[in-house]
Amino acid sequence: MKIGEKALFTKELEVALEEKAVDLVVHSLKDLPTVLPPGMVIAAVCKRDSPEDAVVLHPKHAGKTLSLLPEGSVVGTSSLRRVAQLRRAFPHLRFDDVRGNLNTRLRKLDDGATYDALVLAAAGLERMGWKDRIAQRLTEEESLYAVGQGALAVECRADDASTIAMLAQLHHTTTLLRCVAERAFLKQLVSDWWRRHPLCLRH
Which domain CATH number covers 177?
3.40.190.10
Catalytic residue numbers, as ranges: 31
How many domains does the structure of the chain reveal? 2
Cα dist from 157 to 44, 54, 101, 160, whole Å: 12, 34, 27, 5
Q: Verify that 97 and 44 share a domain, yes or no.
A: no
The model's pLDDT over 40-99, given as tens digits with 9 standing for 90+, comes to 999 999 999 999 999 999 999 999 999 999 999 999 999 999 999 999 999 999 999 999
Q: Verify that 58 and 129 share a domain, yes or no.
A: yes
pLDDT confidence of residue 1: 35
Say if CB 170 and CB 39 are below 8 A apart.
Answer: no
Q: Verify that 125 and 179 share a domain, yes or no.
A: no
Q: Verify that 57 and 45 share a domain, yes or no.
A: no
Final residue of a domain: which of 94, 117, 137? 137
Mean of pLDDT values over 18-33: 94
Q: Verify that 43 and 63 share a domain, yes or no.
A: no
- Does residue 3 lie in a domain region? no
Q: Verify that 90 and 123 share a domain, yes or no.
A: yes
- Does residue 186 lie in a domain region? yes
- Does residue 108 lie in a domain region? yes
103 phi and psi, to 5 degrees?
Answer: -60, -45
Q: Verify that 64 and 128 share a domain, yes or no.
A: yes
pLDDT confidence of residue 198: 67
Say if CB 113 and CB 87 are below 8 A apart.
Answer: no
Cα dist from 25 to 13, 20, 43, 172, whole Å: 7, 11, 10, 18
Q: Which domain holds residue 100?
A: 53-137
Q: Verify that 82 and 32 share a domain, yes or no.
A: no
Closest to 177 in 3D by CA, of 49, 48, 51: 48
pLDDT bracket for residue 202 (50, 70, 90): very low
pTM of the model: 0.84
The model's pLDDT over 109-139, given as tens digits with 9 standing for 90+, comes to 999 889 999 999 999 999 999 999 999 999 9
Q: Verify that 93 and 22 share a domain, yes or no.
A: no
pLDDT confidence of residue 55: 98
| pLDDT higher than 80, residue 2 | no
pLDDT confidence of residue 191: 83
- Does residue 142 lie in a domain region? no
How many Cβ atoms from other residues are within 10 Å of residue 47's Cβ?
14
- Does residue 199 lie in a domain region? no
Q: Verify that 103 and 121 share a domain, yes or no.
A: yes
- Does residue 178 lie in a domain region? yes
Q: Verify that 38 and 60 share a domain, yes or no.
A: no
- Does residue 2 lie in a domain region? no
Q: Verify that 133 and 166 share a domain, yes or no.
A: no
pLDDT confidence of residue 5: 42
